[in-house]
Amino acid sequence: MSFETEWASVRSEATSNVGMRLNQVPDEGGSGSSNANLSVNQDKLGAIGSAAYVLHGRLSTVGKQANASTSEAATMMTSNGFRTGAAMSTVHETWGSQLNTLLDACANISNHLDYSAASHEKEEKDIVASLSVSKINEYLK
């Protein structure tokens, strides 16, 4: 069998078995309404925000102690003529920079989750209020 013949055979098989399948949720009936709700689990957001806040506090305390110790070690090594003093100073600068970046990230996570939880709660209340008003308007017409 030649390549062209085999290729034509494979192509015709492939095109004869083509079909379409849509992935979807089975229709529940009704007028397009659904039971799906946008929800934010306040407990989970609160736990993550709280963990970020605790981590920020611990990093701030312990990280700054380590930063001070590294600075002291770099100063002592340099003043005693060790060539590794300059390298330790570089470690001190890098540690300080990375510590501040991590502290900022923890604070950002904690603050953002607090804001998100409050914002979603306010939006939920606004939606509930607007839906209840629209139901009242239906009866007034």
The token duo for 25 is 């949720």
Residues 59-95 have pLDDT tens digits of 889 988 888 889 999 999 999 999 999 999 999 999 8
pLDDT in tens, 11-65: 887 777 666 555 666 655 544 445 555 555 667 777 788 888 899 999 889 988 8
pLDDT at 10 over 60: yes
Q: Where are the domains of the chain?
A: 43-134
Rounded to whole angstroms, the Cα distance separating 97 from 67 reads 10
Angle at 44 between CA 120 and CA 122, to 5 degrees: 15
Residue 115 and residue 45 in contact, taking contact as beta carbons nearer than 8 Å:
no
The three-state secondary structure class of 34 is: coil
pTM exceeds 0.85 for this model = no
pLDDT higher at 66 or 140: 66
